[in-house]
Amino acid sequence: MKKIVLDDMMLTKALPTTAGSRMLEGYMSLFDAEVVERLTAAGYEMAGKAQVGEFAIDLVGETAYTGTLTENGKLTAASAKALENDTVKGVISLDVNGAPRRIAAQNGLVFVKPTYGTVSRYGTVPVACSGETVGVLARNIADCREVLSAMAGHDDKDGTMHADALCKKAADGCEKPVKKVAVIKMEADADITAELEAAKAEMVANGIEITEIEADVLSAAKTAWNILMCAELCNNVSRYDGIKFGYRTQNYTTIDELYTNSRTESFGALLKTAILFGSDVLSTKNYMAKYDKALRIRRVLAEAFGKLFADFDAVLMPACSKPAYTETDVKENPYIAFEENRYTAPASITGLPAVVAGGVQLVGPAFSEGALLDLAALLVKEGK
Amino acid sequence: MKFETVIGLEVHVELATKSKIFCSCSAKFGAEQNDHVCPACCGMPGMLPIVNKNVVNLGMTAGMMLNCHINRTTTFDKKSYYYPDLPCSYQTTQWFAPVAVNGLVDIETSKGKKSIRIKQIHMEEDAGKLVHDDWTNTSLVDFNRTSVPLIEIVSQPDLSSAEEVVAYLERLRSLLRFAKVSDCRMEQGSMRCDVNLSVRPEGSDQLGVRTEMKNMNSLSAIVRAIEYETARHIDAIENGTEELVQETRRWDDVKGKSFAMRNKETAGDYRYFPDPNIMPVVIDDTWYDGIKNSLPEFPEVKKARYMSEFGLGEYDADILTGSRALCDCFEGAVAECGNAKEAANWLISDCMNLLNKNQQTADQLTVNGTSLGKLIKLVTDGTIGRGNAKKILIAMFEKDLDPAKYAEENGLILSNDTGLIDKVIKEAIAADPKAVADFKGGKEKALMALFGKCMKQLKGNCDPQVLRTMLIDEINKA
């Protein structure tokens, strides 16, 4: 039996789904996520769940209410630990703010974030619906491809999906192999830079044309994504009000106290910051200057990528600034996840496919994940 | 100083769809609490909204009936606020690109005709209902109504009296019922109204301080609330009895007063933004034309046509065009029997009587027009008597049936058996020689007694004219 682990953003009837938040401690869904149904139908066994950071917006899962996982002082991720077990084929992860991509880059794993709208989001805990995507974390390219292929496809229950043929093409096909790669210049530490250099060398050795480019426009992606993500998040988590399900405070006499105390007592600091930030950018006062502008930046970025992909088949860029984070990093800058996402936000905000392998990130035009996986195969030694 | 009242209305109308706006739960009124719910309309995480196409159809229909421009690309947006009857703590509505804008509705009052401008019509989901249990001092939530589709019709502040407001609401109700957009039943909450009101010196072009009264659900309450609120505003301006503030007020119809709601209930920023889970709805020409071609005639156009084409009197035409159900039945009957006057009579007297007896409104008429036409034909060609036809009509109220077949099966066909009629008459005359003598002596009433006995004997299956003629002949012979 081929085993699959689900990150705790995937709703399941059999196990509680918490989204890493005390608010949803013990929450039992009445239905399974579409991806769970598809994978089960394809013969995979749902072996268990991996904890995630609260609503999956942090670095690598360190804000889970159940506690921060560390190893030798470094932050580690439950999904990466799950893949230490050879019988687990892959971990299904919701890529909201790049966490699974950082986890892949820092743990020698492969993650594919498919094109937005090719894998159903039905039954995933909603956070930033306009950009979050269900992807596969695995030990190697072949496993990634196999699992993605089993779960991609049109679903009538998700109104943002592409036609079935496009979804399938994205997962399976590789019509146009990558021949030209643009390398986006971005700051990163020596280890990450070394990995990028190794990736470039491998590509050149395989006859792929490499061009270093400046793409200042992409630097706007981080702020714009933080605005869109937090705005949608604040709206999506507003349903957790202590009334219907989830955590309810013992400490209230009025309805306002019931709301405020339930949320104050069960939400973590990073989530609260995101909620406040999201409420602010949607306020009447700031809507045009912040939220609406972020929507415009999303379009500018899509156009910028469009131009880039007229000349290149894919771009190569880091997925994170360093090979591991420590608890000190987070203590010194509690909002580090909203900084580190400068590498992941461009693909999140545009919905473009991204593949992380060999410690680096490849981003391609829509529906090119097949080609990106082929390219990524050059960067990792298969058969591990 | 003379004052004038400036009123704008926001009218919520529940759409006559079978299912809810974003899920397949039933939208029917009156089920057991929390019977019509699923994870989607309870706000559970992981469910995604899929727009019910029929909601858009009815939104467009309403827009066209109210002479609006239809936005060919219409979008859904989220409106955030906390209340226990709102499961997601946001309502999906239309803020940036509502389905219809810039309409016009004509009304008529004692002061004459007037056009009321419509600012916009938007589609949205309804909220649930809180049930307060005083016994245990708790509140319970009923989600049956959550996500039942609504349209909100927002007028410009063009109304200036309670009379105009009533005329406007009745006009909306008539048009929307005619187009089968909604049953618009205020007592069931399928039509509700927020009244925005301010007062200013007559002729001024400045608007006064505006107050809003929410969720008014009866015309008489609306009239009383407008009169009360107008007087309160004038009193405040003229006599300085209180300082007017822009606020939401609650109308207490029992006390006959409006009360300021706590500021906390009304303050707040709704933080509207486009719903990323619902793609913009693009209305192409085929879709647009399909709805346009399905619109009914306006009631007044129909009325004029009934008078000119079918020769109906104004009174009859008025009653028929008061309800789409009557019109549909009437037109079906005329198409079948070609006799508009008879069809109108059957509907206005017999059908209306039966509806009244069943405590139903004209809109609830279910009689099939074609079947009614067949029934009328059977009467006019002498196959069945009028009395028996009424019995058949009662059966047609229960379920649609073929009148000829029903008459045959139940022995309601007029008898042409003159031998039988002759026999019955002879028996009757023999049994009551006094009546015969009285009639011969000039007492007309005596004939009616004999006639009634014969008809009873014949179980009504006899043409009254034939019976009368044969009866008189027989008496004269005797």
A265 pLDDT higher than 90: yes
B269 reaches A (C-beta below 8 A): yes
pLDDT mean over B4-9: 96
State residue B215 phi and psi, 5-degree precision. Answer: 55, 45
B289 pLDDT higher than 70: yes
Enter the DSSP assignment of A160. Answer: T
Cα angle at A354 between A48 and A105, to 5 degrees?
65
Query: Is the CB of A235 less than 8 angstroms away from the CB of B278?
Result: no
Token pair recorded at residue B43: 């706000």
Residue written as token pair 């559970």: B44
Q: Could you say which of A33, A284, A287 has the minimum Cβ distance to residue B46?
A: A33
Q: Distance between CA atoms of B19 and B58, rounded to whole angstroms?
A: 13
pLDDT tens for A206-220 read 999 999 999 888 999
Q: What share of chain B in percent tops pLDDT 90?
A: 68
Across the A:B interface, residue pairs with CB atoms under 8 Å apart total 93
Please classify residue B187 by burial: count the beta carbons closer than 10 Å to its beta carbon, then call 0-12 exposed, 13-18 middle and 19+ buried. Answer: exposed
Q: Distance between CA atoms of B13 and B194, rounded to whole angstroms?
A: 12
pLDDT mean over A332-354: 97
Query: Is the CB of B141 less than 8 angstroms away from the CB of A123?
Result: no
pLDDT mean over A172-184: 87
At residue A357, the 3 state secondary structure works out as strand
A259 reaches B (C-beta below 8 A): yes
Residues whose CB is less than 8 angstroms from the CB of residue A51 and which lie 6 or more positions away in sequence, other chains included: A7, A8, A18, A20, A61, A64, A66, A69, A78
Residues whose CB is less than 8 angstroms from the CB of residue B442 and which lie 6 or more positions away in sequence, other chains included: none
Token pair recorded at residue A182: 């643009």
Token pair recorded at residue A207: 């006859």
Residues whose CB is less than 8 angstroms from the CB of residue B411 and which lie 6 or more positions away in sequence, other chains included: B459, B461
Q: Calculate how close chain B gets to A182, using CA atoms only, in Å.
A: 31
pLDDT tens for B411-456 read 777 766 777 888 888 888 888 888 888 888 888 888 888 888 888 8
Q: Could you say which of A158, A232, A239 has the minimum Cβ distance to residue B88?
A: A239
Token pair recorded at residue B295: 């619109």
Q: Distance between CA atoms of B168 and B117, rounded to whole angstroms?
A: 11
Please count the residues of chain B: 478
State residue B286 phi and psi, 5-degree precision. Answer: -60, -45
Helix (H) or strand (E) holding A137: strand A133-138
List Cβ<8 Å contacts ≥24 apart for B103-106. Answer: B103/B63, B103/B66, B103/B67, B103/B68, B103/B69, B104/B66, B104/B67, B105/B66, B105/B67, B105/B155, B105/B168, B105/B171, B105/B172, B105/B175, B106/B171
What confidence tier does A269 reach under pLDDT thresholds 50, 70, 90? Answer: very high
Token pair recorded at residue A297: 């930046």
Q: What share of chain B in percent tops pLDDT 70?
A: 98
pLDDT averaged over chain A? 95
For every residue of B149-192, DSSP letters joined together read EEEEEEE-S-B-SHHHHHHHHHHHHHHHHHTTS----GGGTSEE
At residue B125, the 3 state secondary structure works out as strand
At residue A128, the 3 state secondary structure works out as coil
Q: Distance between CA atoms of B401 and B389, rounded to whole angstroms?
A: 13
Chain centroid offset of residue B48 CA: 33
Among A37-46, A79-88, B210-219, name the one with the lowest average pLDDT: B210-219
* Helix pair angle (B433-440, B464-477), 10° resolution: 90
Please classify residue B471 by burial: count the beta carbons closer than 10 Å to its beta carbon, then call 0-12 exposed, 13-18 middle and 19+ buried. Answer: buried
Q: Could you say which of B43, B51, B273 has the minimum Cβ distance to residue A291?
A: B273
Candidates A278, A327, A334, A318; CA nearest to A58 is A334
B262 reaches A (C-beta below 8 A): no
pLDDT mean over A189-202: 96
Name chain A contacts of B43, Cβ cutoff 8 Å.
239, 244
For A120, which residue in chain B has the nearest alpha carbon? B48
Counting Cα atoms < 13 Å in the Cβ hemisphere of B311 gives: 7
Candidates B49, B134, B151; CA nearest to B100 is B151
Residues whose CB is less than 8 angstroms from the CB of residue A170 and which lie 6 or more positions away in sequence, other chains included: A114, A115, A118, A152, A353, A366, A367, A368, A369, A370
- Return the amino acid letter for A138: A
Among A79-83, A234-238, A289-293, B421-425, name the one with the lowest average pLDDT: B421-425
A190 reaches B (C-beta below 8 A): no
Helix (H) or strand (E) holding B290: helix B285-294
Residue A382 or residue B401, greater confidence = B401
Helix (H) or strand (E) holding B3: strand B3-14
B39 reaches A (C-beta below 8 A): yes
For A238, which residue in chain B has the nearest alpha carbon? B89
Residues whose CB is less than 8 angstroms from the CB of residue B134 and which lie 6 or more positions away in sequence, other chains included: none
**pLDDT at position A384, please?**
38
Q: Calculate how close chain B gets to A23, using CA atoms only, in Å.
A: 13
Which of 3.30.930.10, 3.90.1300.10, 3.90.10.10, 3.40.50.2300 would CATH assign to domain A2-217+307-377? 3.90.1300.10
List Cβ<8 Å contacts ≥24 apart for B289-293. Answer: B291/B57, B291/B60, B291/B61, B291/B64, B292/B64
- The complex's ipTM works out to 0.94
Name chain B contacts of A255, Cβ cutoff 8 Å.
84
What confidence tier does B263 reach under pLDDT thresholds 50, 70, 90? Answer: low
Q: Distance between CA atoms of A13 and B82, rounded to whole angstroms?
A: 28
Q: A233 and A278 in contact (C-beta within 8 Å)?
A: yes
Q: Distance between CA atoms of B366 and B416, rounded to whole angstroms?
A: 33
What confidence tier does B68 reach under pLDDT thresholds 50, 70, 90? Answer: very high
- Return the amino acid letter for B19: S
What confidence tier does B49 reach under pLDDT thresholds 50, 70, 90? Answer: very high
First-to-final CA distance of chain A:
20
**pLDDT at position A172, please?**
78
Is the domain B418-477 a CATH 1.10.10.410 member? yes
- Across the beta sheet with B257-260, the strand order is B69-70, B100-109, B112-125, B149-155, B3-14, B191-201, B211-216, B247-252, B257-260
B267 pLDDT higher than 70: no
For A117, which residue in chain B has the nearest alpha carbon? B277
Candidates B271, B344, B249, B318; CA nearest to B93 is B271
